[in-house]
Homo-oligomer: A and B are copies of this chain.
């Protein structure tokens, strides 16, 4: 049995969370990856998460079922049109329609349960404060407040080391930084899906906010973009 420290890593199948898995492994953690089947319109995300977990060598990969459509309220779970070909300035103006109410709060809560059961004290999440600031639950002060709450929700550690940590290695990184680090750590970005509106084959639309930011990241990092785009 491995004596390495365990971490729970939230894995969506996207570019960011794949990079986080690679970073957690590089930091010496045994990774317990956690994905969600939450009524998202494109299940190709879950296939991508499986591929990434296998490729990067996690010790366990669980997918929790939950139905966020119970409440509605987002373009990622409802039949609202995903905006296309927007300027970056426009994206930053307000909370996007692709925002799922309380999504990170819900995902982290499941990660907390998983961490408690396997005895992990570290939870990794690929939130990013720079590239995309429209989501309130991606802000550093939110993550810090979550950690404070999570420590009170669970059995207390004696030392700081034993206390629960919410780790956000991408928080201050640009998309170019992220793909540069991930490429060095062996992430195969062809497996990952960032697109808000992919086709059934998992090919990206190339025009939603997420595709535009991803393209720009590879361009600025001066790396080939291995993303599979729709013809």
Complex CA distance for A163 and B43, rounded to whole angstroms? 35
Per-residue contact bits, chain A 108-147, to B (CB 8 Å; 1 contact, 0 not): 1110111011100000000000000000110101100110
CB < 8 Å: which of B103, B112, B148 contacts A148? B148
Given known contacts A105-B150, A155-B136, A71 and B117 CB-to-CB distance under 8 angstroms = yes
Among the 9-residue stretches A60-68, A175-183, A195-203, the one with 4 or more Cβ atoms under 8 Å from chain B is A60-68
CB < 8 Å: which of B65, B102, B104, B148 contacts A67? B65
Complex CA distance for A158 and B141, rounded to whole angstroms? 18
| In the complex, chain B residues whose CB is within 8 Å of the CB of A101 | 112-114, 116-117
Contact A136 B113 (CB under 8 A): no
Closest CB-CB distance, A133 to chain B, in whole Å?
Answer: 14
Contact B145 A102 (CB under 8 A): no
Complex CA distance for A182 and B149, rounded to whole angstroms? 30
Q: Is A159's CB within 8 Å of the partner chain B? A: no
Count of interface residues, chain A, beta-carbon cutoff 8 Å: 43
| In the complex, chain B residues whose CB is within 8 Å of the CB of A1 | none
Contact B73 A102 (CB under 8 A): no
Q: How many copies does the complex hold?
A: 2
* Residue among A62, A102, A116, A150 with max Cβ neighbours from chain B (10 Å): A102
Closest CB-CB distance, A130 to chain B, in whole Å?
Answer: 18
Complex CA distance for A70 and B136, rounded to whole angstroms? 28
Closest to A138 in B: B153
CB < 8 Å: which of B62, B71, B142, B155 contacts A149? B142
Contact A153 B149 (CB under 8 A): no
Closest to A104 in B: B153
Task: Please give the residue numbers on chain A whose beta carbons come within 8 Å of chain B beta carbons, in ascending order.
Answer: 62-68, 70-73, 95, 100-106, 108-110, 112-114, 116-118, 136-137, 139, 141-142, 145-146, 148-150, 152-156
Q: Can you report 7 residue pairs joining A to B where beta carbons are below 8 Å apart?
A: A62-B70, A71-B116, A72-B117, A106-B112, A109-B109, A137-B153, A142-B152
